[in-house]
A and B are shown apart, each in its own frame.
Chain A
Amino acid sequence: MPKSANITVDHITRVEGHGSILVNIRNGKLERCEFEVIEGPRFFESLMRGRKWEEAQTITSRICGICAVAHSSTSLRATEDAFGVGLSPQTLRLRKLILYGEQIQSHWLHTFFLALPDYLGAPSVLPLASSHPDVVKMALRMKKLGNYIGEVVGGRHVHPISLLVGGFSVVPTEKQLGEVKRMLVEMRRDVDTAVDLFAGIRWPDFQRETEYLSLRDPAEYAFYEGDLVSSDGGSVPPRGYRKMVHEKVVEHSTAKHVYCQRESYMVGALARFNNNYDQLHPKAKQAAEKLGLAHPSHNPFHINPAQVVEGVHCHERCIELIDELLEAGVRFEPTEVTVKAGSGVGMCEAPRGLLIHEYTYGEDGKVTDCNCIIPTGQNYANLEADMRALVPQMLDRPEADITLTLEMLVRSYDPCISCSTHLVRVEFL
């Protein structure tokens, strides 16, 4: 039984961005337990000041490569909110289609390439290419389709080109959409196989109830729009987010923590699953059952199967959206934007959770203020609370085991650290 241990994981692997795990146990007591973000801050909110409204999406998309569409969508919604720009039904459908395509791409990337290796005893997907070639080829196929949706709708997934305030600079052809639908339908087989595969995985058994924040949209399981809701109760429209998302300086630390009604909260696939389970597509609910994913779940390791469930859900929603687009016919719609001074808030669900952009514009259409609240940044406090609860439960295990389990916990959160450097951690003093 390790009475004392120093666990340091520098630049944890298989997560996006640079973060380190720092845990000190002395005489069986947890002295220090942190997830330290060492990513260099790029100061996006400062970069945005003085830039024109047409550039906001271009710039903020570059906050993140994996959730570029989420940032783009949220950014556009913030500007549209500020200027009072409405969207046509076609634009709304195309926006949702590319955002759901990103969920698909991101969730399969994370579950297969970043998380699964641990559960199969591999250091990465590379050895799995030899030991489980069909699984790896399938994972690549599934990820590719998510990206392809981004190409067809936005020109490319990483930093989409054609998404504009008020609409699109080009729209996909009906032929292209038909092709995507055909691919989605054919891929249902792979999605089923993926569900079966993950149903066989034993997730570590750890429970810690926390507060779960997400969007809620009466019309459907929310990714693109909705009000901000908490599992502890409460609901605000996007402009009122500050009533629920609070930042505070923790006395013994120079980092900002984010909280709502408890000391921390969780955003992301599990939060959405817990809050909006009732709205999942029937196939997604079936998948949840197969995966043994109880509703609600308070096990952060269940973020992984929750992502699988959302992968199923988004897959079906993409098919439905394409059907709707094809039925209405797709045509180019020129955008019309009247610039005015004022503030706007955009709120979307990135694959990793609730994302908020708030912009203030001057009369000249230039950004005077910009605030971005990133999902992973919101999860740090909760991740650390989980670590503090989990480590004492593992003290009788070998150090290597504790280390790996902590890494797996961090990976479950699917952190997107480059995105989140608005909140930068330093050592406890």
Chain B
Amino acid sequence: MSKPKVAVFSFACCEGCGLQILNCEDELLDLVGAVDLVRWREAMSETTDEFDIAFCEGSVLQEKEKERLQWVRGQAKVLVALGACATTGGLNMIRNFRPLAEAQEYVYGEKAQALAKKGFPWDATPQVLPLDRVVKVDHYIHGCPIRREEFLAVTLALLQGRAPSIPDYPVCVECKLAENVCVFDKGMTCLGPVTRAGCKAWCPSYGSACDGCRGLIPNPNVNAEKDLLAERGLTVEDILRQFRLYCGYSEASGAAPAAAGNQPPAGGTPPAGQKR
């Protein structure tokens, strides 16, 4: 049986999730023994247009990149969204809550309009998009950044021809297992109750709160969470801001029209057969 050809692609992101793959120092040599790593711009000059499994990190925020992603989808048998920017848009999505022109002018100054007149290739999509708003995604590895163990577990599952096992339960479960003092009991607020586990409650275990970087669980009790936050003194504006750090994708206003066949999750419920 021949080894699957694996490629890694980056879209708009910090490339931290790709780096996490390189950070599997103990397993890297085994990994490149088990698969044929054929294309990865950051790490290799070797390249090819033929690959079986494509790991894609980053969001789509330029029209050219939409085309590039569609090309990758066309070439790959399996497409895995790697990391929050790819799975849910990550914090790139915060941009969607302000007019694009405002962001352009703020960052590039009054030159922004002059640049636009000169045909400056903003090429910007109207909204920042997670990958599955553009193409069908087969598997999701969540998190900002991803956990190395989860990446290895998912890769192993793919090599063994079985579906990866990604939790549908909230971070609270893993926090309890880790015997952490609940973040709320420490006087802070936390999105753990509605956020997908799989990170081993990484942030609460290091004294911080859960920011929701892995996206919402299916059927999250968002209203109860918002009540909880309001009870702790957060205003509506605060609550929206907290959710929009990583979960802006779940709001109708924060999400672009979905690609054909992929409906945007209503209230956070993914369509049957597709996990976000």
**Does A associate with B in a complex?**
yes
Task: Mark the stretch among A35-43, A84-92, A238-246, A343-351 that contacts chain B.
Answer: A35-43
Asked if A113 is at the interface of the complex by the 8 Å CB criterion, the answer is yes
Contact B12 A65 (CB under 8 A): no
List the B side residues contacting A64 at CB < 8 Å: 14-16
Contact B241 A65 (CB under 8 A): no
List the A side residues contacting B114 at CB < 8 Å: 254
Distance in angstroms between the alpha carbons of A47 and B114 in the assembled complex: 22
List the B side residues contacting A43 at CB < 8 Å: 95, 103-104, 106-107
User: Which of chain A's residues has its CB closest to B92's CB?
Assistant: A42
Contact B41 A144 (CB under 8 A): no
Asked if A68 is at the interface of the complex by the 8 Å CB criterion, the answer is yes
Asked if B268 is at the interface of the complex by the 8 Å CB criterion, the answer is no
Contact B202 A126 (CB under 8 A): no
Contact with B along A44-66 (1 / 0, CB 8 A): 01110111100100110011111
Interface size on A, residues (CB 8 A): 64
Cβ contact of A40, chosen from B25, B65, B102, B211, cutoff 8 A: B65
Asked if B28 is at the interface of the complex by the 8 Å CB criterion, the answer is yes
Cβ contact of A159, chosen from B16, B47, B62, cutoff 8 A: B16
Task: Mark the stretch among A117-125, A188-196, A211-219, A267-275 that contacts chain B.
Answer: A117-125
CB distance from B275 to the nearest CB of A (A): 23
Given contacts A46-B102, A418-B13, contact A158 B20 (CB under 8 A): yes
Cβ contact of A418, chosen from B15, B28, B61, cutoff 8 A: B15
Contact B207 A170 (CB under 8 A): yes
Given contacts A52-B241, A161-B208, contact A14 B43 (CB under 8 A): yes
Contact B32 A129 (CB under 8 A): yes
List the A side residues contacting B86 at CB < 8 Å: none
Contact A66 B45 (CB under 8 A): no
Asked if A426 is at the interface of the complex by the 8 Å CB criterion, the answer is yes
List the A side residues contacting B202 at CB < 8 Å: 155-156, 161
Asked if A140 is at the interface of the complex by the 8 Å CB criterion, the answer is yes
Asked if A169 is at the interface of the complex by the 8 Å CB criterion, the answer is yes
Asked if B162 is at the interface of the complex by the 8 Å CB criterion, the answer is no
Given contacts A43-B95, A126-B37, A136-B29, contact A418 B207 (CB under 8 A): no
Contact A17 B44 (CB under 8 A): no
Asked if A376 is at the interface of the complex by the 8 Å CB criterion, the answer is no
CB distance from B200 to the nearest CB of A (A): 11
User: Which of chain A's residues has its CB closest to B213's CB?
Assistant: A159
List the B side residues contacting A140 at CB < 8 Å: 25-26, 28-29
Contact B91 A62 (CB under 8 A): yes
Cβ contact of A13, chosen from B17, B28, B41, cutoff 8 A: B41
Asked if A352 is at the interface of the complex by the 8 Å CB criterion, the answer is no
Distance in angstroms between the alpha carbons of A156 and B208 in the assembled complex: 13
CB distance from A298 to the nearest CB of B (A): 28
Distance in angstroms between the alpha carbons of A418 and B15 in the assembled complex: 8
User: Which of chain B's residues has its CB closest to A429's CB?
Assistant: B118
Contact A65 B107 (CB under 8 A): no
Contact B208 A169 (CB under 8 A): yes
Distance in angstroms between the alpha carbons of A384 and B245 in the assembled complex: 37
Distance in angstroms between the alpha carbons of A286 and B78 in the assembled complex: 50
Asked if A379 is at the interface of the complex by the 8 Å CB criterion, the answer is no
Contact with B along A89-127 (1 / 0, CB 8 A): 000000000000000000001000110010000011110
User: Which of chain B's residues has its CB closest to A39's CB?
Assistant: B12
Given contacts A14-B44, A124-B46, contact A50 B241 (CB under 8 A): yes
Asked if A15 is at the interface of the complex by the 8 Å CB criterion, the answer is yes
Contact A65 B44 (CB under 8 A): no
CB distance from B99 to the nearest CB of A (A): 10
Contact with B along A1-35 (1 / 0, CB 8 A): 00000000001011111100000000000000000
User: Which of chain B's residues has its CB closest to A423's CB?
Assistant: B108
Interface centre among B25, B47, B115, B121, by most chain A C-beta atoms within 10 angstroms, is: B25
Asked if B19 is at the interface of the complex by the 8 Å CB criterion, the answer is yes
Contact B118 A254 (CB under 8 A): yes
Contact with A along B46-63 (1 / 0, CB 8 A): 110000000000000110
Q: Please provide the chain B residues from 99 to 125 with a CB less than 8 Å away from any CB of chain A in the complex.
A: 102-104, 106-108, 111, 114-115, 118, 120-121, 124
List the A side residues contacting B95 at CB < 8 Å: 42-43, 46-47
Interface centre among B14, B98, B106, B121, by most chain A C-beta atoms within 10 angstroms, is: B14
Contact B245 A55 (CB under 8 A): yes
Asked if A422 is at the interface of the complex by the 8 Å CB criterion, the answer is yes
Given contacts A51-B241, A124-B44, A129-B29, contact A45 B106 (CB under 8 A): yes
Asked if B224 is at the interface of the complex by the 8 Å CB criterion, the answer is no
Contact A124 B106 (CB under 8 A): no
Asked if A231 is at the interface of the complex by the 8 Å CB criterion, the answer is no
Asked if B145 is at the interface of the complex by the 8 Å CB criterion, the answer is yes
Distance in angstroms between the alpha carbons of A147 and B25 in the assembled complex: 10
Q: Please provide the chain B residues from 1 to 35 with a CB less than 8 Å away from any CB of chain A in the complex.
A: 10-20, 22-23, 25-26, 28-29, 32
Contact sample, A vs B, 20 pairs, CB 8 Å cutoff = A11-B41, A14-B44, A16-B15, A17-B15, A40-B124, A43-B107, A47-B103, A65-B145, A66-B19, A68-B16, A124-B46, A125-B44, A143-B22, A144-B23, A155-B206, A158-B16, A159-B144, A249-B111, A254-B118, A418-B15
Other A-B contacts than A18-B41, A140-B25, A147-B23, 12 sampled, CB-CB below 8 A, are A13-B42, A18-B10, A41-B12, A41-B61, A49-B106, A64-B15, A65-B13, A65-B17, A123-B45, A124-B45, A126-B44, A168-B207
Q: Which 8 A-B pairs have the closest CB atoms?
A: A65-B16, A169-B207, A155-B206, A124-B44, A46-B103, A123-B45, A40-B12, A144-B25
